[in-house]
Copies of this chain bind each other. A is one copy, B any other.
Amino acid sequence: MTTSNPPVPPSGDSSRIAFWFDFASPYSYLAAMRIEDAAARAGLGVDWRPMLLGPVFKSVGAPLLPLFAIPQKGEYTWKDLARQAAKFGLPWIRPSQFPRNGMLAERIMAGHPDAPWTGAFCRAVFHRSWGLDQNIGSEAVIADALREVGVDPAAAIARAGEDESKLALRLQTEQAVALGIFGAPTMIARGELFWGNDRLDDAIAHAAGKA
Contacts and interface: CB of A to CB of B under 8 A. Distances in A.
Interface of A: 60-62, 69-73, 75-76, 79-80, 83, 87, 180-183, 192-193, 195, 198-199, 202, 211
A76 B202 CA distance: 14
B75 A211 contact: no
A180 B76 CA distance: 9
Contacts of A70: 60-62, 182
Kindly list the 8 A-B residue pairs having the minimum CB-CB distance in the complex, ordered from nearest: A72-B182, A198-B198, A73-B182, A60-B70, A60-B72, A72-B180, A62-B70, A70-B182
Contacts of A69: 61
How many copies of this chain does the complex contain? 2
A60 B73 contact: yes
A72 B60 CA distance: 7
Contacts of A72: 60, 180-182
Contacts of A61: 69-70
Given A60-B70, A60-B72, A87-B211, 18 more contacts: A60-B71, A60-B73, A61-B69, A61-B70, A62-B70, A62-B73, A72-B181, A73-B183, A73-B195, A76-B180, A76-B182, A76-B195, A79-B192, A80-B195, A83-B202, A83-B211, A87-B202, A198-B198
A72 to B, nearest CB: 4
A202 B183 CA distance: 23
A208 to B, nearest CB: 15
A7 to B, nearest CB: 19
A192 B202 CA distance: 27
B83 A180 contact: no
A198 to B, nearest CB: 4
Contact of A75 (B83, B180, B199): B180
B198 A76 contact: no
A75 B180 CA distance: 9
A193 B60 contact: no
Contacts of A75: 180
